């Protein structure tokens, strides 16, 4: 049943409407010319736009910053990673553990050092599992991992073996570079796959990453790698300060035991060798079950911490 609206409510609505239209000019708000804050002591937080360096590149292939689209894509990734503090801090800490392993393998295989930041973009240097099933620091799918020589079964998954997975990633990237002619497109193909990238190139008749219309993830991918590279190479420039003891240490305190026969229990193996099952798995995340039932004629180098 409808009720009458009180008179005072009507008056409030009329006065509010009058004030709104009397103050509205029909013009958009003016851009602010406020200067950057220099004295930050009295403020709990200062959020400023990120200044992009003028010579940003991936493996010597420079971002065309005169292309507003390329510049804005890069700007977005700088903003995301500069202000996603917990993620960037974690990346910096873990880089101290994994970059010393990854860097010499890239160099030995003729892959530019910049591609260590691809691993950061893929997994934040953690043994992540994607919704699609990609695994490890380099995020290989099972079929691709096997195609590049990695063992993947119920007992062993070498996508989690940082040294072997890095070598497999090098093989992929070198093949993609030879096919597409640039390291930038090789990186894009790592994200979306060679067949899909080749189809885009053929359909759009473009052979530059920055001139291709791509899915949202790949369109951000190279810019993300470059932003991570710049921030992680110059953390204090972007407001990240870590003391030497903040970084995670490399896991170098171990000896190697070669395993050439089945192992009925990794827990027993660990105990016999003076460590715990937990530590054994941390040093060898590629051991995916509690035992090793079949080696298939292979031998495995197991790291056992002191």
The per-residue b/e assignment along 38-68, b for 16 or more CB within 10 angstroms, e otherwise, is: eeeeeeeeeeeebebeeebebbebebeeeee
pLDDT at 37 over 70: no
Confidence of residue 6 (pLDDT cuts 50, 70, 90): low
How far apart CA 125 and CA 253 sit, in angstroms, is 20
User: Do 258 and 292 contact (CB within 8 A), yes or no?
Assistant: no
Nearest CA among 49, 54, 174 for reference residue 107: 174
Q: pTM score, two decimals?
A: 0.84
Instruction: Work out the pLDDT band at 31, boundaries 50, 70, 90.
Output: very low
* Average pLDDT of the segment spanning 41-55: 83
How much is the CA Rg of the chain, to the nearest whole Å?
26
């Amino acid at each position: 049943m409808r009720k009458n609206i009180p008179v005072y409510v009507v008056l409030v609505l009329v006065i509010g409407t009058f004030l709104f239209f009397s103050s509205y000019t029909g013009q958009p708000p003016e851009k602010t010319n406020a200067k950057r804050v220099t004295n930050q002591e009295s403020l709990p937080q200062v959020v400023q736009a990120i200044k992009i360096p003028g010579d940003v590149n991936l493996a010597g292939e420079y971002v065309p910053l005169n292309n507003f689209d390329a510049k804005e894509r890069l700007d977005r990734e700088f903003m995301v990673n500069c202000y996603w503090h917990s993620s960037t801090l974690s990346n910096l800490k873990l880089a101290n553990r994994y970059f010393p392993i990854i860097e010499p393998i890239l160099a030995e295989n003729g892959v530019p050092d910049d591609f260590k930041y691809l691993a950061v973009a893929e997994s934040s240097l953690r043994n992540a599992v994607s919704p699609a099933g990609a695994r490890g620091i380099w995020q290989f799918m099972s079929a691709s991992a096997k195609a590049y020589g990695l063992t993947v079964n119920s007992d062993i998954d070498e996508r989690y073996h940082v040294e072997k997975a890095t070598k497999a990633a090098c093989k992929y990237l070198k093949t993609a570079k030879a096919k597409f002619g640039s390291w930038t497109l090789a990186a894009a193909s790592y994200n979306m796959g060679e067949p899909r990238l080749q189809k885009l190139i053929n359909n759009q008749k473009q052979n530059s990453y920055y001139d291709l219309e791509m899915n949202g993830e790949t369109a951000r991918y190279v810019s993300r790698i470059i932003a991570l590279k710049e921030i992680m190479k110059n953390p204090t420039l972007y407001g990240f300060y870590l003391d030497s003891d903040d970084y995670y240490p490399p896991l170098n305190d171990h000896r190697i035991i070669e395993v050439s026969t089945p192992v009925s229990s990794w827990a027993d193996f660990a105990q016999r060798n003076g460590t715990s099952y937990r530590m054994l798995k941390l040093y060898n995340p590629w051991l995916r079950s509690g035992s090793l039932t079949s080696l298939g004629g292979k031998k495995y180098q197991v790291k056992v911490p002191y």
